[in-house]
């Protein structure tokens, strides 16, 4: 009898914790105005993101471009037979007050089986925050979309030496085009540091 009660309590606590995380994700996306700036509705699940050195992205905290220059590890609740897409995008280009070239695509991997990112198809390899110094504090948004079947994507392959294809991306339009459902997400904020100069040279933005 006690073991049965214990199992019920464990299940209850897990469900309660998942529910709290879900509400945190929704609140985060509304508080930082990602909804309605680039999305109509927030994700339900808070995406787990960890950068090198055990740097955990919590809920909208500020990190530097240097701290987030390499591709992070990510984790979310996945269905075994579903395929997922990860998007990292910046809606604050060149600034949050004047987002003339919103959005700037930083990372796009599609057809990810479960959470095995290494088996997904890379359309745009990861690049960290690269807003200019005058941008101030900007939002870096991670989104996970789900499809029940594998999808053919007719998107050009991008690279990190040219801005072409990165500017004026729309996460919402991309998801609509490929009939994908938003299931998870997270956000961190950043502002310029010296590493951005290196990225601007890499992309040919400056000589």
Cβ–Cβ under 8 Å, residues 113 and 179: no
Q: How many CA atoms lie within 13 A of 107 on its CB side?
A: 23
Using one digit for the tens of pLDDT, what is the confidence trace for 135-154? 999 999 999 999 999 999 99
Using one digit for the tens of pLDDT, what is the confidence trace for 39-92? 999 999 999 999 999 999 989 999 999 999 999 999 999 998 999 999 999 999
Report pLDDT for 3: 53
> How is the chain split into domains, by residue range?
2-202
What is the mean predicted confidence (pLDDT) over 104-116?
98
> What's the pLDDT band for 120 if we cut at 50, 70, 90?
very high
Mean pLDDT, the chain, whole residue set? 92
Instruction: Count CB-CB contacts under 10 A for residue 111.
Output: 18
pTM for the predicted model, two decimal places: 0.89
Proportion of the chain above pLDDT 90, given as a percent: 86
Using one digit for the tens of pLDDT, what is the confidence trace for 76-90? 999 989 999 999 999
CATH match for 2-202 among 1.10.357.10, 3.30.1330.20, 3.90.280.10, 1.20.1440.230: 3.90.280.10
Using one digit for the tens of pLDDT, what is the confidence trace for 172-205? 999 999 999 999 999 999 999 999 999 999 999 9
What is the mean predicted confidence (pLDDT) over 101-126?
98
Report pLDDT for 124: 98
Sign of torsion over alpha carbons 56, 57, 59, 61: positive
């Amino acid at each position: 009898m006690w073991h049965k009660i214990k199992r019920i309590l464990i299940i209850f606590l897990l469900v309660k914790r998942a529910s709290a995380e879900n509400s945190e994700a929704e609140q985060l996306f509304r508080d930082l105005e990602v909804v309605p700036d680039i999305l109509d509705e927030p994700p339900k699940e808070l995406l787990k993101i960890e950068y090198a050195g055990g740097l955990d992205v919590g809920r909208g905290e500020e990190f530097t471009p240097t701290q987030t220059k390499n591709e992070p590890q990510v984790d979310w609740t996945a269905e075994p037979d579903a395929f997922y897409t990860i998007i990292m995008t910046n809606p604050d280009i060149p600034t949050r007050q004047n987002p003339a070239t919103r959005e700037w695509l930083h990372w796009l991997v599609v057809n990810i089986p479960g959470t095995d990112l290494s088996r997904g198809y890379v359309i745009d390899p990861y690049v960290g925050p690269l807003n200019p110094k005058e941008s101030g504090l900007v939002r870096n948004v991670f989104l996970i979309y789900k499809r029940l079947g594998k999808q053919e994507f007719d998107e050009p392959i991008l690279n990190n030496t040219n801005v072409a294809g990165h500017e004026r991306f729309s996460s919402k339009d991309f998801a609509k085009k490929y009939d994908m459902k938003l299931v998870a997400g997270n956000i961190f904020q950043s502002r310029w540091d010296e590493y951005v100069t290196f990225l601007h040279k890499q992309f040919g933005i400056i000589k």
